[in-house]
């Protein structure tokens, strides 16, 4: 059967199937201990050394309780415990069938794979709730499905995948609530934000645009009804009663018991090789010197690890992998992926500006609520990313994983803009096909050298 004879629903099904398949294969062939992990830490059962995210998980497996000491004393134990607890429960279950430590460690990736699959499905639901065209949905879904860093979260033992999943679910239910005003949806938002913050504190950033949406709905209904919208206020009270205790439990506990600041970060010292504070703020936060960048690329490297824009686009395509590990033809694939990745990002950003900044306002998928959600969420995520990179000037602080959700608003805008009948359809299809193929090729190369 030719692809153009498939119905749109079948195309969407195939894209989702391909997304789930590539994530599953990535987890199968990429071992837990690899260069794509972040802050993984150490699990040394013989010497009872447990550090990092993996150590945190096996601490919970061993002691069946969160640490009773100041969590800052062990690397990465300061994080909220839900993600690590879910992984610990799964590892404990697998432990009923085997005591092989390697198997137990590898089994952690099953939970992160589930996060990644749910994230992909949630994005499809977000596009459906936005009422975009089928063609637009297919286009945006293809990009999101094969985005390399999003795929890599399927095998990452840290809590990035959990945080992104709960943000996606919260936004999906916020869009639903904007349409239905139902209690089930606002309770869902409260649970997803609260549990998200109890998995990764920065997941709570999504509460800002959702909170502004709540205010907009309350004010608009009060004006339309010419009286205070009491029913909506009661719903918001229920939301707060659920979300706040869950979301703030861990940070309040650690602050009261150990004096740990709410926004504590286990940052690297200035002696670290990743420290880039010796460069000026202009060199770090503004556009890179194009001459230096071209010279580096001509010599087979990216370099300029001190610049946030170089790091953003490099890590969004390649993670933190050292390209020196690969032969020339693989380096060429990496450079091509970064070029296509940049082109797709630029195209998506232009679509985002055109769609939500006031241009092309006739599409029914664009309304006041969606503008609030997408514009504010993008601004909040990008501000947080730049602020974090500026406050903690290290190469790892500029990783795309800290701002993954920021790609969602432009992707939705791509879907909306495609529904408006944008031109250059053949070129778009070629670019997206190249993006998908190159992304898959790079992921295969990563697995081969892991």
| Residue 313 scores a pLDDT above 80 | yes
Least confident of 179-193, 294-308, 418-432: 418-432
Calpha distance 295→303 (Å, rounded): 10
Is residue 106 a part of any domain in this protein? yes
The pTM of this model reads 0.94
Is residue 351 a part of any domain in this protein? yes
**Which tokens sit at 236?**
């918001």
Is residue 46 a part of any domain in this protein? yes
* 11-35 tens-digit pLDDT: 999 999 999 999 999 999 988 877 7
* 252-290 tens-digit pLDDT: 999 999 999 998 988 888 888 889 999 999 889 998 888
Confidence at residue 318, expressed as pLDDT on a 0 to 100 scale:
87
Is residue 350 a part of any domain in this protein? yes
Q: List the one residue out of 78, 82, 86 whose CA is nearest residue 257.
A: 78
Contact criterion met (CB below 8 Å) for 376 and 352: no
* 321-370 tens-digit pLDDT: 777 778 888 888 988 999 999 999 999 999 999 898 875 556 667 888 99
Q: Is 303 exposed, middle or buried (CB count within 10 Å of its CB: 0-12, 13-18, 19+)?
A: middle
Domain of residue 92, residue span? 3-272+314-449
| Residue 3 scores a pLDDT above 70 | no
Q: How many domains does the chain contain in total?
A: 1
| Residue 449 scores a pLDDT above 50 | yes
Phi/psi of residue 409, each to 5°? -55, -45
| Residue 422 scores a pLDDT above 60 | no
* 295-306 tens-digit pLDDT: 887 777 788 889
Is residue 292 a part of any domain in this protein? no
Is residue 44 a part of any domain in this protein? yes
Is residue 288 a part of any domain in this protein? no
Is residue 298 a part of any domain in this protein? no
Phi/psi of residue 353, each to 5°? -65, -45
> Across the chain, what does the average pLDDT equal?
90
- Residue 46 CB partners (closer than 8 Å, separation 6+): none
Confidence at residue 1, expressed as pLDDT on a 0 to 100 scale:
44
The DSSP secondary-structure symbol of 230 reads H
* 203-217 tens-digit pLDDT: 999 999 999 999 999
């Amino acid at each position: 059967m030719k692809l153009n004879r498939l119905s749109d629903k079948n195309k969407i099904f195939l894209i989702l199937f391909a997304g789930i398949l590539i994530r599953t294969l990535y987890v199968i062939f990429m071992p837990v201990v690899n260069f794509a992990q972040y802050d993984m830490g150490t699990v040394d059962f013989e010497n009872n050394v447990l550090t990092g995210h993996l150590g945190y998980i096996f601490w919970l497996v061993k002691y069946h309780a969160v640490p009773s000491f100041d969590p800052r004393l062990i690397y990465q134990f300061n994080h909220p415990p839900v993600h690590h607890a879910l992984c610990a429960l799964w590892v404990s279950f697998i432990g009923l069938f085997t005591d092989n430590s390697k198997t137990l460690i590898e089994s952690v990736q099953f939970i992160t794979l589930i996060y990644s699959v749910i994230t992909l499905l949630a994005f499809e639901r977000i596009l459906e709730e936005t009422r975009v065209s089928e063609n637009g949905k297919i286009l945006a879904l293809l990009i999101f499905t094969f985005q390399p860093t999003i795929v890599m979260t399927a095998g990452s033992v840290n809590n990035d995948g959990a945080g992104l999943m709960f943000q996606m679910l919260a936004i999906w239910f916020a869009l639903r609530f904007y349409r239905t005003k139902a209690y089930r949806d606002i309770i869902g938002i409260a649970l997803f934000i609260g549990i998200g913050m109890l998995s990764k504190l920065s997941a709570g950033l999504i509460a800002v645009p959702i909170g502004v949406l709540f205010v907009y709905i309350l004010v608009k209904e009060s004006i339309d009804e010419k009286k205070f919208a009491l029913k909506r206020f009661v719903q918001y009270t229920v939301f707060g009663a659920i979300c706040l205790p869950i979301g703030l439990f861990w940070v309040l506990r650690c602050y009261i018991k150990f004096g740990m600041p709410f926004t504590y970060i286990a940052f690297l010292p200035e002696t670290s090789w990743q420290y880039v504070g010796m460069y000026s703020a202009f060199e770090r936060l503004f556009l890179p010197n194009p001459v230096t960048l071209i010279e580096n690329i001509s010599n087979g490297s990216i370099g300029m690890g001190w610049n946030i824009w170089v790091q953003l686009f490099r890590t969004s395509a390649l993670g933190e992998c050292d390209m020196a590990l690969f032969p020339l033809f693989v380096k060429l694939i990496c450079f091509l992926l970064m070029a296509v990745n940049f082109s797709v990002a630029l195209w998506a950003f232009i679509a985002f500006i055109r769609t939500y900044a006031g241009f092309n306002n006739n599409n029914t998928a664009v309304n006041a609520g969606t503008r609030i959600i997408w514009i504010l969420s993008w601004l909040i995520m990008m501000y947080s990313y730049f602020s974090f990179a500026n406050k903690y000037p290290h190469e790892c602080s500029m990783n795309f994983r800290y701002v993954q959700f920021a790609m969602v608003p432009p992707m939705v805008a791509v879907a909306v803009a495609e529904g408006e009948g944008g031109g250059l359809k053949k070129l778009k299809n070629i670019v997206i096909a190249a993006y998908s193929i190159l992304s898959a090729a790079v992921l295969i190369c990563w697995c081969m050298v892991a």
